[in-house]
Amino acid sequence: MENKSFHVHHSAFGAFSSVVLGKFGKGGGFVLNDVRPPSNNIYIGYKKDGNIKLLPFCNEVENGAEKEFTGEISNTNVKKSIEFFKEEDIERELNWALDKWSVGDFSFSIITPFGNVKDPMSMNKIEKKYSFAPVIFAKITLDNRKGNSDAEMIFGMEGPKRRISETTDNLYLGAASERSYGFGIENCEDVMELSRLDILSSWADGNYQNHGLGRAPSLIFKVPAGTLKTYTIALATYQAGDITTGINSGFYYSDLFDSLEDVLKFALENKAYYINKAEERDKELESSNLNEYRKFLIAHATHSYYASSELLKGKDGRPLWILNEGEYIMMNTFDLTVDHVFWEMKFHPWTIRNTLDLFVERYSYYDQMGMSFTHDMGVSNGFSPKGYSAYELPDLKGCFSYMTHEELLNWILTGAVYALKLQDEEWLSKNIEIFKQCFESLVLRDSNLDGIMDVDSERCRSGSEITTYDSLDVSLGQSRNNLYLGVKTWAAYVVLNCVFINTKLEELSDKAINRAKKVAETIVSKFDSKNNYIPAVFEDGNTSRIIPVVEALIYPYEIDYKEYVSETGMFSEFIKTLKTHINTVLKKGCCIDEVSGGWKLSSTSKNTWNSKIYLCQHVIKEILHIDYGESEVEWDRVHATWQQVGCSEDGATDQVNSDDGLPRGSRLYPRLVTSVLWME
């Protein structure tokens, strides 16, 4: 990997916690109930022949903490040899589950096991423990087979202060911060704990005396001359009791484990299971025939997705799924749910159902036109009041206005994909009245019956609705007469048609497909045949060219009603027109950035969103059958560079500048898992 200095989240399923590591010189560490990178010193390396060498995850090698404490009476004053490995000597490999740094005979990796997760309602307790243990793993290796002297490796970090041998009757060694997070390994004679005020100085001095006041209790691993040693460490979090408000709930795992130590014990006893699970994922991604950039982008997105995941226990102990919105920490933002549906359908579709049900139960509302849904369910572990999001406000025309129309589409599209792709007939039949109400509400928002939304929700008061592209310019931001939203409305009618076919509601299915036809007809009528594109907004002479016009084609395709998105099917002209549009806009100076060569969603904005790029790339290639050949690899390279360089301190980032790839919002974001579509 060319660019190797960038942060990655490492997170257990649903634990809303991460170990963030990867940007050289910036430290890292555990973060709980948030995704923002800490900047604690992390100690990973080895000592041999008196010299300590570390991966560059410290801000400094000498804290001077002991001197600070002891004032005139300092105990240590020995010359130290402590240095960082040079960046150019370090190799980094980010696979789907594995994040690995290698330098010479030494390597360190963090392993984030993930995979299919069954509906917890159908699990027994032991299955739940395996699935929801809030734990990830690390491996540390030194090949000292050619060495003539004994060596030692270190793993430790600032944050934890106490040694877990003290709370596990010496069965485990490691470190913890109060009761909430830490790391450990089975006690054995090749491993010891070392806790000191200045951990590196003491280790350099050969001072192995554990100190209760130590600031970063670490593990020291022996690697005798002539041996190669690998040690596997568990890294866990644990938070007991209620942690949310609005709805009072705690972590689902908190009923399965008694304490942090209990999690570590379970994790270490079952580490083979977890490592194997991680290796399965790594093999799966490796064996895909995607280019290296796409493999990276999928792996990177996956790490950020799980960093934002939070499985709570709701009423009666039933699972309550929250996917937090990256740096903004909004809960179950519906605009993200609709994009996460591809990921969740692959690995844990019950989380989609869980979210859709809570949207109906608590986060739906009725305006003058009928039913719709809120933008989100709250922020920072605070569930917002029934019927209201944290995000939306009245009297605005831009950011923070209501997304009534788009969230209505999101429930329809997400619900249809869930129900029809998974063939969950029971859920579909239980929710058919909701689909009907949504259909009714959707139709009413088009007062002139041209298929395009033209009625703003009364909740906007003096304002007007916006789309999920809230911080983009009018080309994608405004809802009324918006091309992107028009095609998405078309898709909603199409999938409603499919829903009603599946529920044998013939009249409604006809009505839905007729509405879809009307939308298609209107959009085709907006085609500018002189310039070969469809303007982004059908108002005020707008001439923006946008890529996300094709975004919504994915939904009929995903539920296997491919004839609707075919150039030879019922919507032949519509699909052909969209294809022409794409062929027009995907050019340098239009929707290909002239500076970077990367994709820009709108010709009139530098603000481009990576999750949507990936989604549209997939649609354009697989549904519209446009093959850009080697250009695709170059685009992927640019998009990977944005993440690895421009956003290196920000984890997976959605909103970047299309020219320099620098982050402009939606940092540390889960939505980039739309890239999983490439694996289909």
Binding residues (CB under 8 A) for a copy of itself: these are: 33, 68-75, 161-162, 166-167, 176, 178-179, 209, 211-213, 240-246, 328, 330, 378-382, 384-385, 388-391, 393-396, 398-400, 470-473, 477, 605, 607, 655, 664-665
3-state secondary structure of 153: strand
When the beta carbons of 209 and 287 are compared against a copy of itself, the nearer one is 209
Q: How many residues does the chain have?
A: 680
143 beta partners? 228
Question: Which stretch of DSSP H or E encloses residue 312?
Answer: strand 309-313
**Minimum separation from the CB atom of position 216 to a copy of itself (A):** 13
Say which residues have a Cβ less than 8 Å from residue 287's Cβ, sequence separation at least 6.
none
Find the shortest distance in angstroms from Cβ 161 to a copy of itself: 5
- Of 110 and 474, which CB lies nearer to a copy of itself in the complex structure? 474
* Residue 114 near residue 103, CB atoms below 8 Å: no
SS (H, E, C) 352-414: HHHHHHHHHHCCEEEECCEEEECCCCEECCEECCCCCCCCCCCCCCCCCCCCHHHHHHHHHHH
Is residue 591 within 8 Å of residue 599, measured between CB atoms? yes
Using DSSP's 3-state secondary structure scheme, residue 638 falls into helix
Between 393 and 626, name the residue whose CB sits nearer to a copy of itself. Answer: 393
Contact (CB, 8 A) for 253 and 644: no
Give CA–CA dist 147/105, Å, rounded.
10
CB 250 within 8 A of CB 313: yes
User: For a copy of itself, which is the closer residue by CB, 244 or 509?
Assistant: 244
- Taking the complex as a whole, how short is the minimal distance between the CB of residue 121 and a copy of itself, in angstroms? 26
The encoded tokens of residue 561 equal: 């009603």
Residue with smaller CB distance to a copy of itself, 344 or 407:
407
What string of DSSP letters covers 572-612? HHHHHHHHHHHHHHSSBTTTB-TTT--B-SBTT-SEEEHHH
Minimum gap (Å) between residue 261 Cβ and a copy of itself? 9
Provide the minimum distance between the beta carbon of 178 and a copy of itself in the complex, in angstroms, as a whole number.
5
Q: Which CB sits closer to a copy of itself, 251 or 418?
A: 251
- Kindly state the smallest distance separating residue 412's Cβ from a copy of itself, in Å: 25
Nearer residue to a copy of itself within complex by CB, 512 or 547: 547
DSSP lists the bridge partners of residue 231 as 140
Residue type (1 letter), 266:
F
For a copy of itself, which is the closer residue by CB, 70 or 514? 70
- Cα–Cα distance, 340 to 14 (Å, whole number): 15
| Environment class of 209 (CB within 10 Å of its CB; exposed 0-12, middle 13-18, buried 19+) | exposed
Give the number of other CB atoms < 10 A from CB of residue 429: 12
User: Closest approach of Cβ 663 to a copy of itself, in Å?
Assistant: 11
Nearer to a copy of itself, 397 or 526 (CB): 397
Closer to a copy of itself at the Cβ: 17 or 502? Answer: 17
**Smaller CB separation from a copy of itself, 545 or 664:** 664
User: Smaller CB distance to a copy of itself: residue 223 or 668?
Assistant: 668
Q: How far is the CB of 167 from a copy of itself (least distance, A)?
A: 5
Q: Compute the distance between CA of residue 327 and CA of residue 307 in angstroms, rounded to an integer.
A: 11
Contact call for residues 578 and 549 (beta carbons, < 8 A): yes
Find the shortest distance in angstroms from Cβ 623 to a copy of itself: 30
Q: How far is the CB of 33 from a copy of itself (least distance, A)?
A: 8
Closest to a copy of itself by CB, 11 or 165: 165
Contacts 24+ apart (CB under 8 A), 211-215: 213/69, 214/161, 214/163, 215/63, 215/65, 215/158, 215/161
Q: How far is CA 378 from the centre of its chain?
A: 18
Max Cα-Cα span within the chain: 88
Q: How far is the CB of 646 from a copy of itself (least distance, A)?
A: 16
